[in-house]
A and B are shown apart, each in its own frame.
Chain A
Amino acid sequence: GQNIDQPTEMTATEGAIVQINCTYQTSGFNGLFWYQQHAGEAPTFLSYNVLDGLEEKGRFSSFLSRSKGYSYLLLKELQMKDSASYLCAASDSNYQLIWGAGTKLIIKP
């Protein structure tokens, strides 16, 4: 079957660094997406990885290991506005996205 696993909730301190992990199992693989979703709002695109390695985009970075079926999203210099849910989604052989349940990130002052 197809499955995405990510932690339900994480807590971090303003100004710190946090890493949100995601493991996936899909029928075929065409890349890994990370989306951010603030409470009561729509998901918005953060990053896409299809090759192994780290992609850096400002305070956010995303890593992929295809052999391990593993990705992480790294958030640096955390700000209160980063409090949100972070959704991991893998693209399968038909380019359909399989979504994780999301990780709720709570930032404390």
Chain B
Amino acid sequence: NAGVTQTPKFRVLKTGQSMTLLCAQDMNHEYMYWYRQDPGMGLRLIHYSVGEGTTAKGEVPDGYNVSRLKKQNFLLGLESAAPSQTSVYFCASSGVIDRGGETQYFGPGTRLLVL
């Protein structure tokens, strides 16, 4: 049981390049999330998904797109990378949350540097 995995672990991009970050979970969770974490700031939600085939915008969605074609996978795309997108990106998953208290399980993170 691997939990939540992310690829790649580290990437350097030039401004304007594109890339896709892959998140996979083997816990059969309905909910999946993409966050970014910057120094001195809390985790900020980029996009999330409440089930296969659905996505929704979070707090900071501009410059990112997502897809959830399969329940176990959640992809985050950067179409034209900018230096402001230099960050650590975390994927997380959780079960149904309408009962409250549902723990989010995090992947190991992807460190992205945009030059």
Contacts and interface: CB of A to CB of B under 8 A. Distances in A.
A74 B42 CA distance: 21
What does DSSP make chain B's interface, helix, strand, loop or mixed? loop
Contacts of A48: 101, 103
Contacts, number: 50
A61 interface: no
B42 A30 contact: no
Contact of A95 (B58, B100, B108): B100
A44 B45 CA distance: 17
Interface of B: 40-45, 48, 58, 90, 97-98, 100-109
Interface of A: 4, 8, 30-31, 33, 41-45, 48, 50, 87, 89, 91, 95-102
